[in-house]
Amino acid sequence: MSLITVEGGRRLCGEIAVQSAKNSVLPILAATILSGDVCVIRACPRLRDVETATEILHYLGCDVHWEADDLVVDTATVDRCDIPENLMRQMRSSVIFLGAILARCGRADMSYPGGCELGPRPIDLHLAALRTLGAEIEECGGCLYCQGTHLRGREIVLSIPSVGATENAILAACGAEGTTTITNAAREPEICDLQDFLRKMGARVNGAGSSTVTVEGGARMHGCEHRCIADRIAASTYLAAAAATGGEICLREVNYRHVSTVTTALAQAGCRLRSEERMICLSSSGALRGISPVRTSPYPGFPTDAQAILMAALLRSHGTTVFVENIFENRYRHVPEFLRMGADVRLEGRVAVLCGVEKLCGTGVRATDLRGGAALVIAGLQADGITRIGDIYHIHRGYTRLVENLAQLGANIRYE
C-alpha cells in the first residue's frame, strides 16, 4: 500500500462513526504504567503511532494484546525504565512516557523524540516541569537521564499551555508526595480524557479543561476500562471533505463542542450544519466562499492540526482566505503539493494567502506530514482526474480506515 489513489468529482454522502482520538489514546497508554495492573482501552484505533506505543510498553516489560478492537495492557510486569532510540524517534508523542516511567520507577532514560518535521518543538517545558517536582535530569548526547525517587508536589507554571508538558506534569505528579498545581495548563479535550482515565484508576486529579490542574499524589492506583473520546481532527477531516465535494454526511460519536471552531469556519464558507449531543451533520453545495482570517491557537482556538485540512477544503472557494499559523513554523509543507495541483496559495513566513481557483488537476503528490497528507486526500477528492498520494505512512500515523470510510461515503479512492 505505497500510494493512495483518488479520482475526484464524487459527492460524499452517508453516515460514519469517528475513531477514538489518537491524541487521547497515546497519553492514556503511557498512563497505564501507573496502574501496575490491567487496563482495557475500548475501541482503540489501530494506528501506526499506537503500534509504536505498544512496542514501547512491550519493551518496558508489559503484556499488551488485542482482543477484537480493544487493547488490553497489563503493566504489573514493568521491569525496565529506558526506551531505545529507535522507538523514541518514531513519534513525537513518545516523550509522554517520561513522566509515567519516572513516577512508577523513580528513573527514566531515553533519547529525544521524533515525529513529523513541523519545526522546533523543544521539550524544555516538559523537563522544567519535572525538575520542579524534584527530578534530576542530565542531558547528554541527545539522551535524557532522569532520576526522581523523591518527587514532591509543587506549583508548576507553564510559560505556554503546552499539551504534552501538561500531560507529563500530571503523570509525574501522580507519583509525587503532596499536591501539585499546574498553572497555565493546556485546556484541550484530550487533557480532560486523560483526567477521566486517571480518576478511574484511582488518581486524584481535578481541573482539566481549565487553566489550573491539581494533582494529589500518592493515591493507590488500579486497573480500569476506558473508551477515549472521538478524534476531533479526524471529524474535522471528514467534514472538510464533504464540504469540498458538495456532500451530505453525518458523523456519530462526536462532541460538537470539540470541533466548534472548525464548524464555525465551514458555516461561514457556506455549509449548513446541524449538531446534536453526539452527532454532527453537514451539507454543502460545493460552492464554498472565502472566510475571515484563520489564526491557529491553543484550544479553544482554531487547532493547528486542522489548518491544512480547512485550507484544502477552500482551494476552490470563491474569494480569498488568509491563514496565520501561530503554533508550528513549518506547518505549510503541504502548500507546494497543493500548487502542483493548480492551487493558488502564497506564503510569507507564518502567513498563507489562499485565492480560490476554478479547478484543481489531479497529479502525483506526497504526504509531508500527518495532517498535510489528509489535506492532500481532500484536495484529490475535488480535483479533475486522478491524484496519487505517496508517503502515506504519515497518514497511517493518525487515521484508521480513512480510505475505507471515504469509499463508504462514495469517494472513488483506493490503495495502489
- Tens of each residue's pLDDT in the chain, 416 residues: 589 999 999 999 999 999 999 999 999 999 999 999 999 999 999 999 999 999 999 999 999 999 999 999 999 999 999 999 999 988 877 999 999 999 999 999 998 875 444 444 468 999 999 999 999 999 888 889 999 999 999 999 999 999 999 999 999 999 999 999 999 999 999 999 999 999 999 999 999 999 999 999 999 999 999 999 999 999 999 999 999 999 999 999 999 999 999 999 999 999 999 998 899 999 999 999 999 999 999 999 999 999 999 999 999 999 999 999 999 888 999 999 999 999 999 999 999 999 999 999 999 999 999 999 999 999 999 999 999 999 999 999 999 999 999 999 999 999 99
pLDDT of residue 118: 41
CA angle 81, 225, 222 (to 5 degrees): 50
* Residue 115, pLDDT score: 46
How would DSSP label each residue in 312-355? HHTTT-BSEEEEE--S-TTTTTTHHHHHHTT-EEEEETTEEEEE
The DSSP string of 348-407 is ETTEEEEE--S--B--EEE--SHHHHHHHHHHHHTSBSEEEEE-THHHHTT-SSHHHHHH
DSSP character at residue 237: H
pTM of the predicted model as reported, rounded to 2 decimal places = 0.95
pLDDT for the residue numbered 1: 56
For residue 63, give Cα distances in angstroms to 113, 170, 171, 369, 380. Answer: 23, 24, 21, 31, 41
The predicted structure's pLDDT at residue 11? 97
Q: Which of 39, 81, 105, 116 is catalytic?
A: 116
Is residue 271 annotated as a catalytic residue, yes or no? no
